[in-house]
Structure 1
Amino acid sequence: MPTPARANRAYRRVAAVVRPVLFATTRRDWQGVENLPREGGFIVAANHVTQADPLTLAHFLWDNGVVPRILAKASLFTAPVIGAALRGTGQIPVQRNSSAAGQSLDAGAQAVRDGECVVVFPEGTLTREPDMWPMQGKTGVARLALTTRAPVIPVAQWGAHHLLARYGKVPHLFPRAHVEVLAGPPVVLDDLYDRPMDSATLREATERVMEAITRLLEGIRGEQAPAVRFVPPPGGRGGATSTPSAS
C-alpha cells in the first residue's frame, strides 16, 4: 500500500512502528471510503470511546491515502516518546478550558485551508454515556466547519474498546479486536454559513454532526441510540442530564 503523499518523514517512521502492531492486534472493517474527499482540505469528526480511537482512526485514514492531523490535548505533547511523535507528525495541541483554546482552532483552520485532513473528536473526551453512545458535542467542530466551510465527514468507529477498555490503561492484545470504521457523506451545513456565528448556530451545527455520527454508529452496532443525548456534568463521569436528539 503506497504511503500517503502528504506524510513527512516522522509520520512515515511512526506509521512503520504503529501499523504492524495494529495489524497484529485488530481485525479491521473499513467502510464508507468513497466519502473521503480526494481533493482539498476537510474535517473528520468521530465518536470517542477509548484512548485507542485516535490510533485506529488514523489507521483507517492512512490506509485510504489520508494523512490525519488530530486535535489532541496539549498535555500529551510534553509526554515522553508520545510527545515527540505528536510534534513530529504535526498533530495539533488543544489547550482545554483556557484562553488559548482558540489558537488550536486557528491552527486547525489553517491546516484545512492548506488542504489537510483535520480530525476532531467533538465530545472533547471519552464519552460518559453509560452504553458508550456519542454524548453532547462541544462547539469547536462547528466553529472550525463554519469558519472554513470545508466538508465535515462524520465517522463512527466501534470495537477499539476491546483493544483498550474505556478508561483502561493496559491493552488487551489477544484475541484480536474487531474494529469497524464507517465514514458517512458530508454533514449538510451550508445553510448555516451566512448566519451569525452565535451560540444557537454553533449548537445546531454541532448537533447535526453528532446526529450524523450517531446514525452511523447505530448501523454498525445494529442498535438504536437513546432518544435523548447524554450531557455530562462538569468534571464527572455520570449523573448527567440529557437533551433531545433527532431520532
Structure 2
Amino acid sequence: MLPAHPPNVAWAGAMQQGIAMRGPCPLAATYICELRPPPFAPANMSSTSVAGQARQPSSWRSWWCRWPRPRHRHIEAAGRSGAGADRRRRAGPLTCADAATATLSAASFDLIFSRFGVMFFDDPAAAFAHMRQALKPGGRLVFVCWRGAQENDWVRLPMAAICDIVEVVPADPDGPGPFAFGDAARLQRILTDAGFADVGIAPFDTIISYGHGETGEKAIDDALDMVFQVGPLARALADKPDGVRARAADAVRAAFARRVGATSVLIDGAAWIVTARNPAS
C-alpha cells in the first residue's frame, strides 16, 4: 500500500526544481513504476520523493535513492536528446513510445507520474484509460501540467508583445497542447471518464527562471532564443518575413527586460498538481 497523497509543499519542491531549468518543454516525460518495499520507512517519509526530484525539507527522505532500483517504464517523446535524456537512460530502461498506445502489462504497476508530459493526447480520456489498466488496484496517478496560457508568462508576455505586429489565431483550448488541461472541470471529467477515482486537482503558482545568462542581458537573449524556437510565438512567426520577425523580437525583448533579474528572466508560472487512484476493485 502506498502512502497517502503527499502534501502540496513537497510537490512544490519538485515543481520549483523542474521549472528552474532552461525552459518548460524539455521537462515533459512520463514514468510508469513498480515500487519495491523500502528497507525502512520512517514515519515522516512521503511518497512525494518516489520521483527523487524534490528539493525537500531536511525531514523528508528520498525513497528513490534508498530503495533497490525499481522496475519502471520511462516513456519519453520521440526525438528527445541531450544530457538529461542520457542521465535518464542510465537510471533505468527507457521506452520511446506513445503512452496512449504503448504496450503495458495489465495491473502491473504501482505509480504513473508525469512532469508536463500528458497534455498532448488526441483523445485524453482514452489515453488515461489505457494507462490506468496498467496500474494495480489502488495504484496512483500523479502529474503536473500547465494551467491556462493567460496565467503563464512564458506564453502570455511574448504573445501580448506581438499582438499589434502579427495576427494571432487563438488555439483550440481543448485541443492537444501545453494548456489542454487549463480548465480544471474538464480535466476532472477526463480522468473520471478514464475510470480514475479520488481525483485531486490543486493549483500551484511559482516564479519561473526562464532564460539564463551571466548577466541580465544574456538571460534575455537566452529567453528570446527559447520563445523563437518553440511554443505559440514560434508558430505565429514561422512564415513571417525577416522584418516582421525583427520587430517581434524587439517587442518581446522589451517585455522580458521588464522582468529580468541578475542572471535570469523571472516570470509567473501556474500549474495544476493532479492526483488520482485506480479503484481498488
- TM (norm. structure 1) is 0.32
- Structure number with bigger Rg: 2
